Amino acid sequence: GAVVSQHPSWVICKSGTSVKIECRSLDFQATTMFWYRQFPKQSLMLMATSNEGSKATYEQGVEKDKFLINHASLTLSTLTVTSAHPEDSSFYICSARDWSGQNYEQYFGPGTRLTVT
């Protein structure tokens, strides 16, 4: 299957600072990427959908000024957590769709563990 990578795999930052997480589709082009958040022992919660070259669409309740998403190319999307606070500590996972003909499969990255101290 297709490969989605994330960097960094884990990050620790101090409260009030910003953190950027990168998501790359390694062997396919992704016009659409998704950002999820996952709390321990819970399912995945969609934060936003990012389309290459346009503004991201945020889910209800997700602060777009806090979670900045940029999808500047067909293989790269970034999530920046601005002015991070301890409650932003979580597992962030990106996902991308690999289109083959008229159908697609959706793949996930390995995730980024963010800890805000």
Partner 1 sequence: QQQVKQSPQSLIVQKGGISIINCAYENTAFDYFPWYQQFPGKGPALLIAIRPDVSEKKEGRFTISFNKSAKQFSLHIMDSQPGDSATYFCAANRHKLVFGAGTILRVKS
Span near partner 1 by CB under 8 A; candidates 14-22, 60-68, 74-82, 98-106: 98-106
CB 93 within 8 A of CB 111: yes
The site string for partner 1 over 3-42 (x = CB under 8 A, - otherwise) reads -x-x---------------------------x-------x
Place of tokens 């991201």: 56
Residues 6+ apart with CB under 8 A from 110: 5, 6, 9, 93
Using CB under 8 A as the binding rule, whether residue 76 contacts partner 1 is answered as no
Span near partner 1 by CB under 8 A; candidates 12-20, 68-76, 81-89, 99-107: 99-107
Cis peptide before 86 (omega within 30 of 0): no
Place of tokens 């997480």: 21
Interface ranges with partner 1 (CB under 8 A): 1, 4, 6, 34, 42-44, 46, 49, 91, 93, 95, 103-111, 113
